[in-house]
């Protein structure tokens, strides 16, 4: 991956970020347009779910899984703490609905349900996540769960998150989901459920159509934002460890805007 020398020229207009780490990538070429501590391992929080979604979409692409396939929700999935799409034990729900809950509502329960359905157990799925990370060359990333709740040894870098996002955005179904501010999920035997997108940068910055937020007390506010650029192609901006949701959005937007420096 080619990195841009920030020591001259564009340095004067370089973004000033409070984020612990950040990275701006031109997804078409893989070129890094700007970075700050981009190779420092940090807690990625729910940006972890991008890898979970990537494994789901690869199963779909290889015809080993259908988005219409029904998944039975386990006790473990229904009981997981943190953000959820309010799954109930024994409920049957489609892979597409779970993927929507994973990416829009940041459902930890959706992450567990998908992991168990695809790999038979959460530990087996996490092994697949780490195998995929190795194959992508993500040397500073290690997963311990499919949802991103902070635990010892669960870490990633801003650069590695860009790589995962680059792979994930190749799947158009993902962007169809993440570009929506809300979605209605049909539930068997229950009233339909409205999910609101945790990515509040949607509609605030022109063209943003994804991708994934994250927050835990350890990770602080994180965001992987993506948007098409008229000259560069698709941009991917990652900020990790920002102090507030407002700063998270402002700094991701500042990175996306900085890409105009290169046109």
Strand duo 21-26 + 233-242: pairing? antiparallel
Q: Is 36 annotated as a binding residue?
A: no
| Catalytically annotated residue among 46, 74, 83, 84 | 46
| CA dist., res. 154 & res. 44, Å (int) | 8
Q: Residue 107, Cβ neighbours under 10 Å: how many?
A: 28
Residue 106 among the catalytic residues: yes
| CA dist., res. 163 & res. 253, Å (int) | 19
| Catalytically annotated residue among 43, 74, 84, 106 | 106
| Catalytically annotated residue among 49, 84, 132, 220 | 49
| CA dist., res. 178 & res. 183, Å (int) | 10
Is there a cis peptide before residue 124, judged by omega within 30 degrees of 0? no
User: DSSP assignment, residue 184?
Assistant: E
Largest CA distance in the chain: 62
* Buried b or exposed e, range 231-253, using 16+ CB within 10 angstroms: ebebbbbbbbbbeebebbbbbbb
Annotated binding-site positions for substrate = 212
Active site residues per annotation: 46, 49, 106
Annotated binding-site positions = 212
């Amino acid at each position: 991956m080619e990195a841009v020398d920030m020591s001259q020229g564009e340095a004067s207009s370089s973004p000033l970020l409070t984020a612990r780490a950040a990275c701006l990538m031109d997804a078409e070429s893989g070129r890094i347009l700007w970075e700050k501590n981009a190779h420092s391992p940090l807690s990625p929080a729910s940006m972890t779910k991008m890898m979970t979604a990537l494994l789901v979409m690869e199963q779909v692409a290889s015809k080993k899984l259908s988005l219409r396939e029904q998944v039975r929700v386990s006790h473990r999935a229904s009981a997981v703490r943190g953000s959820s799409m309010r799954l109930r034990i024994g409920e049957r729900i489609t892979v597409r609905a779970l993927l929507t809950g994973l990416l829009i509502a940041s459902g930890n329960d959706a992450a567990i349900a998908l992991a168990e359905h695809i790999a038979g157990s959460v530990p087996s799925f996490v092994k697949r996540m780490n195998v995929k990370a190795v194959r992508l060359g993500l040397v500073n990333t290690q997963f311990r769960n499919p949802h991103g709740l902070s635990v010892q040894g669960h870490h990633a870098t801003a650069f590695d998150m860009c790589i995962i996002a680059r792979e994930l955005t190749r799947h158009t179904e993902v962007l169809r989901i993440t570009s929506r501010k809300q979605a209605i999920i049909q539930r068997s035997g229950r009233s339909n459920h409205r999910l609101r997108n945790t990515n509040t940068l949607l509609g605030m910055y022109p063209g943003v159509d994804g991708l994934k937020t994250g927050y835990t007390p350890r990770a602080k506010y994180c965001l992987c934002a993506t948007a098409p650029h008229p000259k560069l192609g698709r941009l991917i901006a990652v900020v990790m460890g920002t102090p507030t949701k407002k700063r998270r959005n402002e700094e991701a937007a500042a990175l996306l805007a900085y890409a105009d420096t290169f046109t």
